A and B are shown apart, each in its own frame.
Chain A
């Protein structure tokens, strides 16, 4: 289905956040490394809604750090990389890139025109079918009325068949013209190619950043050991402020499962307010999740993390 990206995957650092722009990287990291991030872009096919969002994928600093530590990804100073990369483009690179885009655009245009044709033909066929049905019904009526039989429907049918054949001929003719023109220019009514806004800058720019464009691993909050531990245990984690916690822990891919825990990190010797525990416990129970609190015994050691879940017993 999808091709795996080359490792390490470059993560773009822009405006204080970590972004992924490549769909292959997004699917790969989700499938293989349980990193979901938050989709933050607009889907061009349905731009006026907030339920389904698109690229880019925004990663929490914890997620980016985890990937860097695993050696799966590296952080790129994208602003610098773009500026330097584009300025350094040569004439030949530009021409090649433009040609590439043009062929993609032509392909998109072909697809769309043929799809439109198909739709049009389908619609036409439907109209024809309706007409034929109406004609048949009318014919039946007349036969019922007049009583002189079979001729009319019989005469209607060959027409129909001929029409269909015509249609098919047309489609095949069109198909042949389009297939002929794949290599050369297509005679579309407006220009020849679609303009394309690519998602990534990889084709003109190199995939792997130069050493000067790389950034060190992201700074992470004190809750990172807990994050790393839960992630290692197979949980999918996502930011949880909307549910009143630090992370939401999902037992599997959030596409298919509801989250089980509201996660809040604490320092090992931190004094907890009992109210916070009760509030968290009730909140979790209210949304059918467990309230999970945890922290590392030794600083920055994910192995020493212990976790506790609080549930409202409701005796």
Chain B
């Protein structure tokens, strides 16, 4: 019906406010709105300004030109806000271009002398041996900035400590912290043209020269598997308050491990067979007494023989095979190929997070560059990606009651972050199991099923 069509088109515009949540970050916002927030009274930056009114098209009025120039001025002003660090609480990091390394020794030493001196120095808890040079605690080899005075809440979820109580930061972590003005990264002496004589002796790596934002991007944005798409996702989610860490699939050659434990699979398999209690025993007995015939090639689809219940008939009628995501995956799994690999684990702000023992992530994210991969991923790519995630059946109490929520949640899920030149779109892909939702069984529960869920308006 044409009218219905029309209504569908106009619906979103008419009561947009009611139905569609406007994502302010979708479009460029007027920076004048930003200046309404007073930064000076810090701590009370409670709310972000509302969406400003925009004009339909330019006209040659002075009025419009004035507003535009005011907007640009506000933008210029906001963007030129400096990153300054009060000496009382400034956090200083030092860039380590060669990756994690133990702190330099106090005096110049030959390789042979290193051992004896390290042995002699009491406070250093490190075992003085050549191996400590390469492994300095469980610091990620891609880490490239260390912080000696980690006094910030951010370090609750960022960085790894070595045995000298320094926190090592991965490139994306360092860049994010520098960008938000929480970290002052210094160039090491080796990178800023200090002479040999100047370098050794005092054992100080910090040159005192701060890295600019530009230098930090140049040093970190392409380091250790990071690229600008991944960084966009990382920093965007961090800004929203999520905790986000690298997943094992970060490196292209790394084996992607899943937390797939067999126990959950088996449990699900057990639940499938028959009902529980007396009814289950009875139905199994009947099935044993007169097994429903399986010959459907001849005769009626439901087969000839005794049918004790509609359930039997319906289950016979379901002749189209369906994929059961809870079934144990095949032995040889196809490996998820980049970019369709999980590269980030994301935790909601409410999830208690411990750096030493990160819990199971709330979301798993694969990052795709929309410019390099312009088509929708193939079935096998998606399949491999989903298989690399652990089973996540819809198990909450609410979902056990509502079928549509179960379908929507699916049995495995992953989030695709599609990045188009800095603009990120997140898509959730889940493996729904329509075959597992036996509608006839639901009917049998009672003639009146619980309320029909209303189809959600987009």
Contact = CB atoms under 8 A, between A and B. Distances in A.
A196 interface: yes
B222 A195 contact: no
B84 A196 contact: yes
Contacts of A90: 193
A31 B78 CA distance: 16
Contacts of B2: 315
Given A88-B193, A105-B84, A257-B55, A199 B76 contact: no
A108 B9 contact: no
B6 interface: yes
A314 to B, nearest CB: 6
Given A14-B228, A47-B180, 12 more contacts: A14-B222, A16-B222, A44-B81, A44-B82, A44-B180, A45-B39, A50-B25, A78-B218, A195-B87, A196-B83, A197-B184, A252-B58
B228 A16 contact: yes
21 contacts: A1-B73, A14-B217, A15-B231, A17-B228, A40-B232, A45-B78, A52-B29, A86-B192, A89-B192, A195-B90, A197-B185, A197-B212, A199-B214, A201-B215, A204-B209, A241-B423, A256-B30, A256-B64, A259-B27, A282-B9, A286-B9
B14 to A, nearest CB: 12
B75 interface: yes
B121 to A, nearest CB: 30
Given A86-B192, A241-B370, A256-B55, A15 B228 contact: yes
Given A12-B217, A30-B72, A82-B215, A190 B86 contact: yes
B213 A41 contact: yes
B26 A242 contact: yes
B77 to A, nearest CB: 9
Interface stretch (B101-109, B270-278, B414-422): B414-422
A194 B86 CA distance: 5
B222 A15 contact: yes
B13 to A, nearest CB: 6
B403 interface: no
B420 A239 contact: yes
Interface string A38-82: 111111111111111011101011000000000000000011011
Contact of B9 (A36, A257, A260, A314): A314
Given A15-B228, A197-B211, A241-B423, A50 B236 contact: yes
A42 B180 contact: yes
A155 to B, nearest CB: 35
A139 interface: no
B40 interface: yes
Contacts of B57: 251-252, 257, 260
A7 B287 CA distance: 85
Interface of A: 1-2, 12, 14-17, 19, 21, 23, 26-27, 30-31, 36-52, 54-56, 58, 60-61, 78-79, 81-83, 86-90, 94, 97-98, 101, 105, 108-109, 112, 115, 119, 189-201, 204, 221, 238-242, 251-260, 282, 285-288, 312, 314-315
A259 B34 CA distance: 21
Contacts, number: 276
B56 A258 contact: yes
A195 B81 CA distance: 14
Contacts of B452: none
B90 to A, nearest CB: 5
| Band of interface residues on B | 35 or more
Contacts of A51: 24-25, 29, 48
A137 B124 CA distance: 68
Given A36-B28, A38-B422, A94-B209, A196 B85 contact: yes
B226 interface: yes
Contact of B58 (A44, A52, A109, A251): A251
Given A89-B192, A241-B370, A101 B240 contact: no
A37 to B, nearest CB: 8
Contact of A94 (B12, B31, B83, B192): B192
B185 to A, nearest CB: 8
A259 B57 CA distance: 9
Interface string B18-57: 0000001111111100100101110001001000001111
B78 A52 contact: yes
Nearest to B88: A190
A97 B25 CA distance: 37
A192 B191 CA distance: 27
B214 A239 contact: no
B39 A38 contact: no
Given A23-B76, A50-B239, A254-B28, A38 B215 contact: no
